[in-house]
Amino acid sequence: MHCTVPLLSAAECDQITATLRQLPWQEGHAPGELYREKIKRNQEIALEMSPETKVADDIMATISRKLMANADVRNKTFAKTLVNPRFNLCENSGFYAKHADSAFLGNQRQQVRTDISLTLFLSDPDSYQGGELSLQYACGDAQLIKPAKGCVVFYPSGVMHEVKPVTNGQRICFVGWIQSHIQDPQNRSILSEITTLCDDMMADPNLALGDLHTRAQNIKHNLFRRWWQNHN
């Protein structure tokens, strides 16, 4: 159910992590400090966290722009809004235990429904031990994810997940949440598939704009008509 898109080059990731390492990070917030060790042990830089982290705000804005402008990301997420971007750092056995993401995130001005959660991996996977993102499906299956740096992983926000303890090295990620124009994960993947099919047909001189292509396009547009949501 998850998908992975390469977004940044290795050099871009190295530059970002080198800058972020110089900044003051804050302990990640957990609902009730009493439960802190049960829930997560990490450090974060959130948007507009402090004047000293202004450069992180600029990097977050650049990453967010790149994400929303990427054609592959658009065709997989049908993103409407990206909220709550932040950097997440785990080291010294830091972790984020199994949890459910909130259904709504944002600020007082704008509450956004979370359809898709994303992690952009910024650290070289060989530079830290553990730190896999584990997706835990209702059927009991679990999937461990630890891609190359620069890759962004999207998964439905309704899937329980955790970050395994980072037993060595440092894991730095960018995380965020997307409200999609297509709320249902299955509908999203059907639309991704038919969009890719139509694009592939368009790229094939034998099929482009022929009868089969036109019929596939008709199905695609009718599905978009049924499922596209513009409202909040």
Ligand X SMILES: O=C(O)CCC(=O)C(=O)O
d(CA 3, CA 229): 22
3-state class of 155 per DSSP?
strand
76 binds, among ligand X, Fe ion, none (CB under 5 to 8 A by kind): none
CB 134, min distance to Fe ion, A: 11
DSSP class of residue 61 equals H
114 binds, among Fe ion, ligand X, none (CB under 5 to 8 A by kind): none
Q: Taking every pair of C-alpha atoms in the chain, what is the biggest distance, in angstroms?
A: 65
d(CA 214, CA 220): 10
d(CA 14, CA 16): 5
CB 149, min distance to ligand X, A: 13
Residue 208 CA to its chain's centroid (Å): 33
Under the binding rule (CB under 5 A), the answer on residue 132 touching Fe ion is no
Residue 93 backbone class (left: φ over 0; alpha: ψ -120 to 50; beta: rest): left
Which residue lies nearer to ligand X by CB, 169 or 202?
169
CB–CB of 86/59 below 8 Å?
no
How many binding residues for Fe ion (CB under 5 A)? Answer: 1
Under the binding rule (CB under 5 A), the answer on residue 101 touching Fe ion is yes
Q: Given the rule CB under 5 A, which of 93-101, 125-133, 200-208, 219-227 is the region that contacts Fe ion?
A: 93-101
Which residue lies nearer to ligand X by CB, 45 or 163?
163
CB 2, min distance to Fe ion, A: 13
Which residue lies nearer to Fe ion by CB, 84 or 183?
84
Q: Which of 58, 79, 61 is nearest to 70 (CA)?
A: 79
Q: Which of 154, 147, 121 is nearest to 13 (CA)?
A: 121
CB 232, min distance to ligand X, A: 21
CB 13, min distance to ligand X, A: 15
Which residue ranges make up the site for ligand X (CB under 6 A)? 88, 96, 101, 119, 133, 161, 163, 173, 175
Q: Given the rule CB under 5 A, which of 95-103, 134-142, 143-151, 198-206 is the region that contacts Fe ion?
A: 95-103
